[in-house]
């Protein structure tokens, strides 16, 4: 038999058959979705802001309004203040929970990081029960109960907004510091001790210089997060005296005008706000959160003995947790259970009547269903697309694979308000697709926004699997797709489950994008809570808040259980 | 069982050539090792045989079936090459039991569960792991995991078995044991084996033929003894076994032999060497440590030196001898151990001379 004959009988296949296959199709679909959902909205937004005869007309118009300048000032003031509070809370707490023999350090770490998963606007709603001008329970306790001279501390104020944002972004600093502390080789500190430095000196000369970068990175994340935040200033800002306005609420105001001119100015303001995304990669890297994922922590670190300060530290940590996190959530729970808020605390006044009333409303059922459906679909979509992209980058051998990461991160870095405006531009009529007022619109925004979280988690999982695992399957006779489905996917299942919940949790209580994208038939828990809070029924709002917090905490507990404590907080 | 033919096989990334012009025919049932330092292209060549890497030039033929030929647009996916392969990391799937790992290749071919289990049990028996099919891979020791990987690679009776540094993660004793077992299995099953290693003793102990590679090219091919006794160049001489590499001037030469005066050594060191080098030219001389002998009483043609280190190794003694500016390494019989500081007169029983050209070592 001649050579030619032989290889013809063997079946000639095109080269690169590895990718000319179902696997290649899946990859192409994932990249297509990435471009359509993550890149297109933001690209259209920037383009739209420059439209018209004079490309800078919208910007000029926006710049001519004093209200916009005061909104910018508001954003910068709130963000700087919040970053400072996050830093001041996060650094000592992060060090205490990671480096010392604080009793229950691991549990405190989870508790103090709780605001990481609970939406900040829910905290704001909780605080309104405690510190609204005259009716706030804490204010009444201070004035009536303790007979303090009238000092109504109002949460409806610039300081109130800064305080809540600072508290809710403090976990970014806390986690960055805690992980930086854990990365320090204990020998470095021991060497300083042996060289003659006391514990305080060691902290100042060795420990702090090594966590400073991470702490500042965490504070920068808090700053950017606050710039992008909508819920807290929207709940508290309008009733403050003087009213507090920030860019995100200002953009929402422009959209509410429902005019072309208003929309154009909203896009210009959004493009300005989008600049914040530029600093995001820097913040991620310095805070060390881009490498957060691998579960293994270096062992063998001996905790710093707090000695006689141990009780004081415990009291301090407890007080911070109680005052910042526990109290507002407790206030929500109590107010949701009080039949008549005016009658004060008593056993007779406790009932589930609000739950009954709220959940019987058809709108509430719809919102609950929508939020579950959206969060679950967004999580599934993000894990599917994010997992595929991570796989392509890790295993595809693609020359341009590196661009996938920044593209996937783009929507996460962009403020939610900005992404939502982009989604309106992209999905209401462009290329004949109009999703306005449908759940698809919200799904697209959620999945795009949180894709990066799923992508990072999947990538961390794949990184831990040596390629020879799949190669062994190929040699055994499995096709490329089959080697992925039967070998790789089962091996990274834990990461994929964690990734799913990491998207589910923020999607479930999402407000910032939803408030711009929801329609009459597509309320979510977030939008319904916001409307109840603002306009009609604070008790009903607290019922929804309690529901959201409960589902999120349950999800978090589930992640921790499934991952053996490696993921979740 | 089947032959394996690699024709002018090459792999490059851009302008960087990893493997160049690899030409070799491997007979059915033969055990061949690819030996070389890390980065020499041996693993890349193995992966091209497996179909895990695509050649950029040349052809691969397994059992007369052309599986890779970029010039003709032929590329058969790895899963269709009917090979067995053992990876350096073993690559046992942690989410499957040992039995499921071994049975997986059969599952992919639609073999029923019952038959699969029976075959897996039989294979595990063959690698001395009978009854462990229900265990999880992580419950096994390194050596046992290696045996599972071997069973998985052999379960569907592949035409060719590829071994990628399969012993490098094991401790010395286990390594020796598994060497013997793999060799024994190969003889019993008659399978063609390609074995990649950087460990010359492994290659020498197991192979019918060794292919020594360096910088992407074949340097020498042959049975272990031939490579050891007749290295083609200094690199091969130094890579297989220990070698004292010295320099000298050729005093006289015949066909296949010459007499060389070594430079830089004390005494009157003239040695008879194998190898053809022109009279009057400089040559590199390779002398194996075991080819030195202590020659008391004689005076001419001897290297003299002082013992600087003596290491007792049980069956023999490893000595270092300082002579002139050089340090020689000697392997002497255990009974004849010299003392530290002794002055020795040494004769070389055997030496190989290489012409000094453009340096190749």
Q: What's the CA gap between B237 and B240, in Å, rounded? A: 6
Do the chains contact at A491 and B89, CB–CB below 8 Å? no
Per-residue pLDDT, A18: 47
Q: Is residue A564 part of a domain?
A: yes
Give the residue with greater pLDDT, B208 vs A205: B208
What confidence score (pLDDT) does residue A4 get?
Answer: 37
Query: Taking CB atoms and an 8 Å cutoff, what residues of chain A touch B111?
Result: none
Task: For residue A270, give every residue at least 6 positions away whose Cβ sits within 8 Å of its Cβ, in sequence order, or none.
Answer: A45, A49, A251, A415, A417, A418, A421, A422
Residue A3 is assigned to a structural domain of this protein: no
Residue numbers in A near B160 (CB within 8 A): none
Predicted local distance difference test score (pLDDT) of residue B174:
86
Q: Do A7 and B152 touch (CB under 8 A)?
A: no
Residues A376 and A283 in one domain: no
Selected residue of A477, A490, A497 to mutate for chain B interface (largest B Cβ count, 10 A): A477
Q: Which helix (H) or strand (E) holds B354?
A: strand B352-355
Model pLDDT, residue A291:
52
pLDDT of residue A155: 86
A61: nearest Cα among A260, A278, A277: A260
Please give, rounded to a whole number of angstroms, the shortest distance from the CA of B65 to a CA of chain A. 6
Full residue range of the structural domain in which residue A357 is found: 25-52+352-569
Contact A6 B84 (CB under 8 A): no
pLDDT of A289 higher than 90: no
Q: Which residues have a Cβ under 8 Å from the Cβ of A227 and sit 6 or more positions away?
A: A75, A76, A79, A247, A273, A276, A415
Asked if A12's CB is within 8 angstroms of B73's CB, the reply is yes
Q: How far apart are CA A246 and CA A74, in angstroms?
A: 5
Does B111 touch chain A if contact means CB atoms closer than 8 Å?
no
B110 touches chain A (CB under 8 A): no
Give residue A324's region: left, alpha or beta (phi > 0; psi -120 to 50): alpha
Q: Quick check: B104 and A10 CB within 8 A?
A: no
Q: What is the pLDDT of residue B100?
A: 94
DSSP class of residue A151 equals -
Count: domains in chain A: 2
**Residue of A12, A466, A474 with shortest CB distance to B52:** A474
Please list the ranges in chain B whose pLDDT falls under 70.
1, 297-301, 357-361
In a domain, A300, yes or no: no
Distance CA A167, CA A83 (A): 9
Of the candidates A7, A15, A477, the beta carbon closest to that of B66 is on A7
Kindly list the residues from chain B whose CB atom is less than 8 angstroms away from the CB atom of residue A487.
93
Say whether B79 and A474 touch across the interface (CB within 8 A): yes
Please indicate whether, in this complex, the C-beta atoms of A475 and B85 are within 8 angstroms of each other. Answer: yes
**B window 163-202, beta carbon within 8 A of A:** none
pLDDT score at A419 = 92
A329 with A457, same domain: the answer is no
Q: How far is CA A287 from the centre of its chain?
A: 15
Of A104-118, A146-160, B212-226, the range with the lowest mean pLDDT is: A146-160
Same domain for A358 and A337: no
Average pLDDT of A490-516? 91
Phi-psi label, residue B7: left if phi above 0, alpha if psi -120 to 50, beta otherwise: beta
* Identical fold, B4-235 and B246-355: no
pLDDT at A279: 83
* A490: nearest CA partner in chain B: B95
Secondary structure (DSSP) of B312-346: E-SSEEEEEEEETTEEEEEEEEGGGPPPTT-EEEE
Which residues of A make CB contacts under 8 Å with B? 1, 3, 6-7, 10-18, 466, 468-469, 471-480, 482, 487, 490-491, 493
Q: Are residues A36 and A162 in the same domain?
A: no
Highest mean pLDDT among A4-13, A37-46, B30-39: B30-39
Among chain B residues, the shortest Cα distance to A10 is held by B65
Q: Is A134 helix (H, G, I), strand (E, B) or coil?
A: coil
* Nearest residue, CB atoms, A10 vs list B66, B85, B87: B66
- Cβ B95–A490 below 8 Å, yes or no? yes
Is residue B236 within 8 A of residue B284, CB to CB? The reply is: no
CATH code at position A569: 1.10.3720.10
- Say if the Cβ atoms of B91 and A466 lie within 8 Å: yes
Picking from A476, A492, A494 by the largest number of B CB atoms within 10 A of its own CB, the best residue to mutate is: A476
CATH of domain B246-355: 2.40.50.140
Min Cα–Cα distance to chain B from A286, Å: 34
Chain A residues in contact with B78 (beta carbon < 8 A):
471, 474-475
CB contact under 8 A, A10 and B87: no
Closest chain A CA to residue B50: A475
pLDDT: which is higher, B228 or A435 = B228
- Is residue A260 a part of any domain in this protein? no
B359 in contact with A, Cβ within 8 Å: no
User: How would residue A299 be classed by pLDDT, with cut points 50, 70 and 90?
Assistant: low
With tokens 């790895």, the residue in question is: B78
Residues A335 and A475 in one domain: no
From residue B306, give the alpha-carbon distance in Å to each of A55, B37, B309, B341. 89, 33, 9, 6
Contact A3 B156 (CB under 8 A): no
Q: What percent of chain A has pLDDT over 70?
A: 91
Asked if A40 and A102 sit in the same domain, the reply is no
Check if B105 contacts A (Cβ < 8 Å).
yes
Mean pLDDT, chain A, integer: 84
Instruction: Tell if the CB–CB gap between A476 and B65 is shorter than 8 Å.
Output: no
Please report residues of A whose CB lies closer than 8 A to that of B75: 13-17
Q: How many CB atoms lie within 10 A of CB B126?
A: 18
pLDDT number for residue A16: 43
CA A446, A448, A452, A457 dihedral sign is positive
Cβ pairs bridging A and B (under 8 Å): 100
Q: How many CA atoms lie within 13 A of A152 on its CB side?
A: 12
CATH architecture of B4-235: 3-Layer(aba) Sandwich (3.40)
Amino acid A542: pLDDT: 87
Measured between beta carbons, the chain B residues lying within 8 angstroms of A478 are 79, 104, 108
pLDDT band at A5 (very low <50, low <70, confident <90, very high): very low
Domain shared by A548 and A515, yes or no: yes
Residue A6: what pLDDT?
35
How far is the C-alpha of B251 from the C-alpha of B259, rounded, in Å? Answer: 6
B12: exposed, middle or buried (Cβ count in 10 Å: 0-12, 13-18, 19+): middle
Chain B residues with CB under 8 Å of A399 CB are none
- pLDDT score recorded for residue A92: 92
pLDDT above 90 covers a percentage of chain A that reads 34
- Using a CB-CB cut-off of 8 Å, the residues of chain B touching A14 are 73, 75
Residues A289 and A425 in one domain: no
- Is the CB of residue B294 less than 8 Å away from at least one CB of chain A? no
Q: Model confidence at A2, in pLDDT bands (50, 70, 90)? A: very low
Residue contact B78–A3, C-beta within 8 A? no
Q: Do A475 and B79 touch (CB under 8 A)?
A: yes
Find chain A residues with C-beta within 8 A of B66's C-beta: 3, 6-7, 10
**Res. A458: pLDDT tops 60:** yes
pLDDT band at A339 (very low <50, low <70, confident <90, very high): confident
Closest alpha carbon within chain B to A14 = B73
Put simply, whether B94 touches A (Cβ < 8 Å) is yes
Minimum Cα–Cα distance from A1: chain B residue: B64
Residues A480, A336: one domain? no
Task: Check whether A298 has a pLDDT greater than 70.
Answer: no
* Co-location of A504 and A539 in the same domain: yes
If asked whether residues A48 and A67 sit together in one domain, one would say: no
Return the domain boundaries, chain B. Answer: 4-235, 246-355
Same domain flag for A286 and A337: yes
């Amino acid at each position: 038999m001649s050579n030619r004959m032989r290889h013809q009988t063997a079946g000639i296949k095109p080269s690169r058959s590895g990718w000319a296959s179902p696997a290649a199709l899946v990859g192409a679909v994932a990249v297509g979705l990435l471009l359509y959902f993550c890149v297109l909205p933001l690209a259209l937004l920037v383009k739209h802001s420059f439209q018209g005869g004079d490309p800078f007309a919208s910007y000029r118009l926006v710049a001519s309004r004093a209200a916009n300048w005061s909104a910018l000032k508001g954003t910068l003031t709130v963000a700087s203040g919040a970053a400072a509070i996050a830093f001041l809370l996060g650094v000592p707490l992060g060090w205490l929970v990671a480096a010392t023999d604080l009793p229950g350090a691991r549990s405190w770490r989870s508790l103090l990081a709780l605001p990481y998963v609970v939406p900040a606007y829910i905290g704001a709603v909780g605080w309104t029960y405690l510190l609204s001008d005259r009716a706030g329970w804490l204010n009444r306790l201070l004035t009536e109960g303790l007979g303090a001279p009238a000092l109504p501390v109002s949460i409806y104020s610039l300081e109130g907004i800064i305080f809540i944002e600072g508290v809710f972004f403090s976990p970014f600093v806390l986690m960055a510091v805690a992980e930086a502390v854990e990365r320090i080789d204990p020998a470095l500190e021991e060497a300083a001790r042996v060289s003659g430095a006391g514990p305080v000196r060691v902290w100042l000369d060795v420990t702090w210089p090594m966590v400073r970068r991470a702490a500042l990175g965490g504070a920068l994340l808090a700053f950017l997060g606050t710039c992008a935040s909508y819920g807290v200033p929207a709940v508290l800002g309008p009733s403050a005296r003087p009213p507090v306005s920030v860019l995100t609420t200002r953009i929402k105001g422009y959209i509410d005008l429902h005019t072309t001119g208003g929309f154009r100015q909203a896009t210009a303001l959004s493009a300005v706000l989008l600049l914040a995304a530029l600093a995001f990669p820097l913040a991620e890297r310095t805070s060390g959160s881009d490498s957060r994922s691998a579960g293994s922590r270096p062992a063998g670190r001996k905790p710093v003995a707090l000695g006689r300060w141990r009780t004081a530290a415990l009291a301090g940590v407890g007080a911070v947790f109680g005052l910042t996190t526990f109290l507002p959530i407790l206030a929500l729970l109590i107010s949701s259970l009080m039949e008549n808020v005016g009658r004060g605390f008593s056993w007779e006044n406790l009932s589930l009547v609000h739950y009954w009333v709220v959940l019987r409303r058809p709108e509430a059922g719809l919102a609950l269903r929508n939020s579950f459906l959206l969060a679950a679909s967004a999580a599934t979509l993000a894990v599917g697309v994010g997992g595929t992209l991570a796989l392509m980058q890790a295993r595809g051998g693609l020359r341009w694979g590196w661009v996938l990461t920044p593209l996937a991160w783009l929507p996460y870095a962009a403020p939610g308000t900005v992404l939502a405006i982009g989604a309106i531009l992209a999905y209401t009529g462009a290329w004949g697709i109009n999703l306005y007022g449908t759940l698809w619109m919200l799904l697209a925004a959620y999945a795009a926004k949180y894709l990066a979280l799923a992508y990072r988690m999947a990538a961390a999982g794949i990184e831990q699997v040596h390629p020879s695992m799949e190669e062994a399957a190929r040699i055994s006779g499995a096709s490329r797709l089959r080697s992925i489905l039967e070998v790789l996917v089962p091996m990274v299942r834990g990461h994929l489950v964690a990734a799913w919940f990491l998207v589910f949790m923020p999607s479930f209580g999402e407000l910032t994008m939803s408030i711009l994208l929801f329609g009459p038939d597509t309320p979510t828990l977030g939008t319904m809570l916001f409307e109840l809070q603002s306009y009609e029924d604070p008790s009903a709002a607290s019922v929804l808040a309690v529901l959201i917090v409960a589902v999120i905490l349950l999800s978090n507990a589930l992640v921790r259980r499934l991952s053996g404590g490696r993921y979740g907080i | 069982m089947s032959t394996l033919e690699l024709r002018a096989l090459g792999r490059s990334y851009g302008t960087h050539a990893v493997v160049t012009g690899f030409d070799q025919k491997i007979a059915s049932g033969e055990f061949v090792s690819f030996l070389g330092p890390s980065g020499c292209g041996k693993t890349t060549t193995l992966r091209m045989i497996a179909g895990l890497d695509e050649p950029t030039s040349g052809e691969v033929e397994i059992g007369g079936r052309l599986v890779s030929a970029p010039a003709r647009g032929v590329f058969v996916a790895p899963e269709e090459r009917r090979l067995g392969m053992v990876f350096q990391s073993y690559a046992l799937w942690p989410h499957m039991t040992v039995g499921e790992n071994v049975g997986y290749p059969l599952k992919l071919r639609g073999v029923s569960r019952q038959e699969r289990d029976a075959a897996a049990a039989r294979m595990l028996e063959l690698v001395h792991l009978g009854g462990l099919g229900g265990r999880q891979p992580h419950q096994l020791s390194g050596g046992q995991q290696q045996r599972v990987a071997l069973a998985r690679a052999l379960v569907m009776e592949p035409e060719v078995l590829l071994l990628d540094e399969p012993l490098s993660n094991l401790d010395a004793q286990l390594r020796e044991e598994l060497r013997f077992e793999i060799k024994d299995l190969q003889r019993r099953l008659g399978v063609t084996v390609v074995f990649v290693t950087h460990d010359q003793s492994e290659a020498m102990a197991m192979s019918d033929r060794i292919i020594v590679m360096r910088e992407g090219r074949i340097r020498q091919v042959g049975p272990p003894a031939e490579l050891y006794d007749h290295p083609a160049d200094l690199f091969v001489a130094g890579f297989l076994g220990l070698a004292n590499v010295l320099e000298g001037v050729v005093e006289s030469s015949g066909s296949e032999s010459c007499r060389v005066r070594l430079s830089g050594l004390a005494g009157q060191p003239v040695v008879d060497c194998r190898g053809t080098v022109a009279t009057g030219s400089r040559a590199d001389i390779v002398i194996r440590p075991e080819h030195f002998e202590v020659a008391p009483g004689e005076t001419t043609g001897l290297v003299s030196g002082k013992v600087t280190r003596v290491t007792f190794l049980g069956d023999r003694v490893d000595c270092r001898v300082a002579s002139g500016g050089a340090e020689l390494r000697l392997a002497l019989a255990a009974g004849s151990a010299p003392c530290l500081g002794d002055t020795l007169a040494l004769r070389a029983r055997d030496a190989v001379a290489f012409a000094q050209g453009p340096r190749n070592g």
